[in-house]
Amino acid sequence: MAESDFILPHPENCTGCLRCELRCSWTYAHAFSPLEAYIQVDPGESTRISFTEDCNGCGFCVDECPFGALERA
């Protein structure tokens, strides 16, 4: 998985709600399927947020996150 040139993750603010993944997958795959999202969140003790190479920086995930875990670069 790649870093996004468009979106800065702040994993310390992530609650693991996966709203970002669901919004992304709905927008691009027309399904609520985190596996098809261009953003991947791995919640746990040390939350990781990463982006696939298909991420185009649209920012829908940023708009969907109410916790400030994502920011436009």
> For the domain bounded by 7-72, which CATH number is listed?
3.30.70
pLDDT at 1 exceeding the cut of 60: no
CA distance 30 to 42: 22
pLDDT at 2 exceeding the cut of 70: no
pLDDT at 5 exceeding the cut of 90: no
CA distance 66 to 51: 19
Q: For residue 49, name the pLDDT band (cuts at 50, 70, 90).
A: very high
Q: Tell me, what amino acid is at 71?
A: E
- The whole-number average pLDDT for the span 38-52 is 94
Is pTM, for the whole model, over 0.85?
yes
Q: What angle do CA 5, 37, 6 make, to 5 degrees?
A: 15
The structural domains of the chain, with segments of one domain joined by +, span: 7-72
